[in-house]
Amino acid sequence: MARASTLLAVVALAGVFAADAAAIAKVQVPGVQVALYRHGYYKASVDGVSGPMTKAAIRKFQKDKGLTPDGAVGKRTRAAFGKYGGHLFGSRVLKRGMVGFDVSVLQFLLAKRGYPTKSLNSNFGDGTERLVRKFQRRMRLPADGIVGRRTRAALLTGRVSKPRVHRVHHRPKSAGGRRHVVRPGETLTGIAARAGSTVAALARRNGLDPRQFLLVRTRLSLPSGRASVPHGHHGEVVTSLNRWAAYYGVSSDLVRALAWQESGFQNHVRSGIGAAGVMQVIPETWFFAERFLIGAPVPKTADGNARVGVAYLRHLLGEFGGDARLAVGAYYRGPAGVRKHGLGPETRHFVANVLALRGRV
* CATH number for the domain that contains residue 182: 3.10.350.10
Q: What is the pLDDT of residue 125?
A: 93
Residue 273, domain member (yes or no): yes
Say whether both 186 and 307 belong to one domain.
no
Q: Of residues 224 and 96, which shows the higher confidence score?
A: 96
Residue 2, domain member (yes or no): no
Percent of the chain at pLDDT exceeding 70: 80
Say whether both 66 and 153 belong to one domain.
yes
Q: Of residues 51 and 108, which shows the higher confidence score?
A: 108
Report long-range pairs for 105-108 (Cβ below 8 Å, ≥24 apart).
105/27, 105/28, 105/30, 105/31, 106/132, 106/147, 106/155, 108/30, 108/31, 108/34, 108/46, 108/48, 108/215
Say whether both 279 and 351 belong to one domain.
yes
Residue 115, domain member (yes or no): yes
CB 148 within 8 A of CB 106: no
Of 102, 126, 157, the position where a domain reaches its end is: 157
Helix axis angle, 234-248 to 302-319, nearest 10°: 40
Say whether both 134 and 238 belong to one domain.
no
Torsion of CA 289, 292, 295, 299, to 10 degrees: 20
Q: What is the pLDDT of residue 52?
A: 84
Look up the domain containing 69 and give its range: 11-157
**Contacts with 49 (C-beta within 8 Å, 6 or more apart), sequence order:** 29, 184, 247
* Angle CA 334–339–345, to nearest 5: 70
Classify residue 312 as exposed, middle or buried by CB count within 10 Å of its CB (0-12, 13-18, 19+): buried
**CATH number of the domain where residue 309 is located:** 1.10.530.10
**Contacts with 213 (C-beta within 8 Å, 6 or more apart), sequence order:** 37, 43, 45, 46, 120
Q: What is the pLDDT of residue 17?
A: 47
Determine which of 104-113, 140-149, 156-165, 341-350 has the lowest per-residue pLDDT on average: 156-165
Residue 193, domain member (yes or no): yes
Residue 229, domain member (yes or no): no
Of 157, 187, 211, the position where a domain reaches its end is: 157
Residue 6, domain member (yes or no): no
Alpha carbon 30 to its chain's center: 10
Say whether both 82 and 191 belong to one domain.
no
Say whether both 190 and 109 belong to one domain.
no
**CATH number of the domain where residue 83 is located:** 1.10.101.10
Please report which confidence band the pLDDT of residue 82 belongs to, taking 50, 70 and 90 as the band edges. very high
76-102: string of b/e by CB count within 10 Å (b at 16+)?
ebbebbeebbbbbbbeeebeeebebbb
Q: What is the pLDDT of residue 68?
A: 93
Q: What is the pLDDT of residue 165?
A: 41
Identity (one letter) of the amino acid at 177? G
Q: What is the pLDDT of residue 189?
A: 64
Residue 93 pLDDT > 90: yes
Q: What is the reported pTM?
A: 0.48
Identity (one letter) of the amino acid at 68? T
Say whether both 198 and 105 belong to one domain.
no
Q: Of residues 117 and 313, which shows the higher confidence score?
A: 313
Q: Of residues 61 and 203, which shows the higher confidence score?
A: 61
Say whether both 134 and 186 belong to one domain.
no
Q: What is the pLDDT of residue 211?
A: 65
Into how many domains does the chain fold? 3
Please report which confidence band the pLDDT of residue 243 belongs to, taking 50, 70 and 90 as the band edges. very high
Residue 1, domain member (yes or no): no
Q: pLDDT for 144-186, tens place per residue?
A: 999 999 999 999 888 765 544 444 444 444 445 678 887 765 6
Say whether both 24 and 146 belong to one domain.
yes
Q: What is the pLDDT of residue 194?
A: 65
Please report which confidence band the pLDDT of residue 81 belongs to, taking 50, 70 and 90 as the band edges. very high
Say whether both 150 and 20 belong to one domain.
yes
Residue 44 pLDDT > 80: no
Q: Of residues 322 and 192, which shows the higher confidence score?
A: 322
CA nearest to 317, candidates 308, 325, 307: 325
State whether residue 341 is helix, strand or coil: helix
Q: What is the pLDDT of residue 315?
A: 95
Residue 21, domain member (yes or no): yes
| Residue 276: other Cβ atoms inside 10 A | 19
Say whether both 241 and 189 belong to one domain.
no
Say whether both 194 and 317 belong to one domain.
no
